[in-house]
Amino acid sequence: MLKWLAGVLLVLIVLLQYRLWLGEGGLRELAETRARADAMETANEPLRARNQRLAAEVRDLKTGLDAVEERGRSELGMVRRDEQFFWVPGVVIESALIEQHALSQDIGEGRP
């Protein structure tokens, strides 16, 4: 009787261990799910950064005219009435440099 009970318990433990390690919802599936989640997190990092930049731009557009003025200057080539515009042929300014300059000014002024 005791040997029979020990055998049943041993078989039960083996089945439970199999299910834990290899079965549905086991540790192997958990490791695969974590790997997929890490890959998705890595893929989402640039998107989060882009969203933060866009949110900062929306905030700036809602609160101040500086961003509107800069947009008008960079995208539409607008100039104030009291300014003079000089065009130098062959010189191209990258829009990324303009944006970077604007962001550095925002950070220097304490804007988010």
Q: For the residues 76-97, what does the mean pLDDT come to?
A: 75
Q: How far apart are CA 74 and CA 99, in angstroms?
A: 9
> What is the band of 108 on the pLDDT scale with cuts at 50, 70, 90?
low
Residues in the chain: 112
- Secondary structure tally for the chain: helices H, strands E: 4, 0
d(CA 41, CA 43): 5
pLDDT of residue 99: 62
48, 54 in Cβ contact below 8 A? Answer: no
The predicted pLDDT at position 95 comes to 59
> What are the sequence ranges of the domains in the chain?
28-108
Q: What pLDDT is recorded for position 94?
A: 63
- In angstroms, the CA 100 to CA 107 distance is 11
Question: Would the pTM count as exceeding 0.75?
Answer: no
